[in-house]
Structure 1
């Protein structure tokens, strides 16, 4: 297993007990963190300190809520992208998503890029090999960038917008894709150029899951099964980490008023726990760790431009 300095241990911030917590985001206007419980079709919100936790039941398994320039959310869910007003609860279908795909799929990871476009992925409901795809939603138009993926994860972008990163979790590697001036993968002869292997995490003790980029351009990536979130430098080498008292971190977020609190969603999916047993543990909770002493800060979350 890769050894690196431990910056701290994250502690439970919200006892959310998510079977599959995912997709955290920070809303600077309301000073709230949001995240999803995918398998339970729930949207969670809480204040920066974990207080005022509330849960909104959704109609579909939803993996991400992208904050738009108009102040509402675009929900990324199985078979459908929808507009959702968190104030009124109004929901409106926006665009179908893999409605006729076989085997059946659901949405997985998603992230807004530096151009205000949404990258989103799908995977098989039972994680079938090669059933997933990677897409980009640009100004309301959905384009498939890649297919044949199993568990697409770790979507994030370099601060200068030159690179997109992603992982097919089953490979244990993080890929890097060079982008053009409009945020599309570079292409030649009508085809996208292949991404390159940027980080090899097969000896990390866990599987690469959700990821973000901090203000220094370093990646923070959840290592599912390893109970830690690793910080990778510009060459993809692990240089530090934060530990958790649970084994399945799913996605990090740098939020808080100064963007220096590391929030981490977790899960108890796949564990031999009943619902009552899961609720007596910290598995599935939202965790937090103050990184201000280390001088680490995040980047402001780009808003999704739909028109």
Structure 2
């Protein structure tokens, strides 16, 4: 296992989210966005000024994608919604699935403009979730019987998708059509992490094809080559980092969300940064997220 590189970054936001998730960055406005899923909040942070806004939500939101300067797509337990960025109105767009006990979790937009979105039971019920492909308002179920979908991200050429079921802890890869983001083959195990500490959580893929994965329960962001070799481990000052995102004008910084979910009072006292949002403190060769294509 790679040596753990000490944390050299800083706290970007000291608000402690119960379940910080789904971070992304809008280069047009210089704004980072993420969710506190359990708190039903959308967090907005202008990086240069430090201006912070928390937007209450009427649902459990988990993924945000830009559509155009005036609209965003949000995935939630109640389906997909379009959010007006000026007036903050939310308009129903599409239902993801028909399991009322489920919520959305990890997801990401492919370079072609299609969304992959995972769903799961609210109490992480075994095999209750799935991963879906969303192209416009067309919803296609890709993989079922998933307990906790995570690590959804795509190679720079758009020909490979990565994902995991954190309950199983296998980082998976699957060949996909770069023009549609639909699978062209069967998923295979890229890295078996079932005996390693912590859980494979949210991930992003950088401009060189490296996979950066938040390691829930292990206080780290871990880096994999496209062949599955783990080449680096960066410490995060919270036990439960949940998802990384590339931020900044050149996508050269890394933001990491975290959570205090399931920590009792003693565990939270021992983990004072749990739920905060961090700058990892290193230079990365990131990519800005593509927009969702209506």
- Using the TM superposition, give the Cα deviation of residue 7 of structure 1 relative to its aligned residue in structure 2, in angstroms: 6.7
Specify the SS of the correspondent of 1:290: coil
Structure 1 residue 222 and structure 2 residue 214: aligned?
yes
Which whole-Å CA distance do the structure 1 matches of 2:58 and 2:134 have between them?
Answer: 22
Distance 1:163 1:7, change over 3 A: farther
Give structure 1 stretches of 5+ with no counterpart: 187-192
2:290 corresponding residue in structure 1: 302
Which whole-Å CA distance do the structure 1 matches of 2:208 and 2:6 have between them?
Answer: 16
Q: Conserved in 1, the CA contact under 8 Å of 2:61 and 2:104? A: yes
Which whole-Å CA distance do the structure 2 matches of 1:8 and 1:291 have between them?
Answer: 9
Q: Conserved in 1, the CA contact under 8 Å of 2:236 and 2:280? A: no
- Using the TM superposition, give the Cα deviation of residue 281 of structure 1 relative to its aligned residue in structure 2, in angstroms: 2.6
2:109 corresponding residue in structure 1: 112
1:190 corresponding residue in structure 2: none
Q: Conserved in 1, the CA contact under 8 Å of 2:109 and 2:291? A: yes
Structure 1 residue 286 and structure 2 residue 277: aligned?
yes
Residue 133 of structure 2, aligned match among 123, 131, 136: 136
- Using the TM superposition, give the Cα deviation of residue 90 of structure 1 relative to its aligned residue in structure 2, in angstroms: 1.3
- Using the TM superposition, give the Cα deviation of residue 203 of structure 1 relative to its aligned residue in structure 2, in angstroms: 4.0
Question: What's the CA shift string for 1:30-64, capped at 9, x where partnerless?
Answer: 00110000011100011225711110001100001
Which whole-Å CA distance do the structure 2 matches of 1:17 and 1:264 have between them?
Answer: 13
Structure 1 residue 184 and structure 2 residue 208: aligned?
no
- Using the TM superposition, give the Cα deviation of residue 139 of structure 1 relative to its aligned residue in structure 2, in angstroms: 2.1
1:246 corresponding residue in structure 2: 238
2:11 corresponding residue in structure 1: 12
- Using the TM superposition, give the Cα deviation of residue 70 of structure 1 relative to its aligned residue in structure 2, in angstroms: 5.5
Specify the SS of the correspondent of 1:34: strand
Which whole-Å CA distance do the structure 2 matches of 1:73 and 1:108 have between them?
Answer: 17
Of stretches 79-88 and 126-135 in structure 1, the one that deviates more from structure 2 is 79-88
Structure 1 residue 54 and structure 2 residue 36: aligned?
no
Distance 1:50 1:225, change over 3 A: farther
TM-score, structure 1 as length reference: 0.90
Which whole-Å CA distance do the structure 2 matches of 1:81 and 1:130 have between them?
Answer: 22
Q: Conserved in 2, the CA contact under 8 Å of 1:13 and 1:50? A: no
Give structure 2 stretches of 5+ with no counterpart: none
2:156 corresponding residue in structure 1: 159
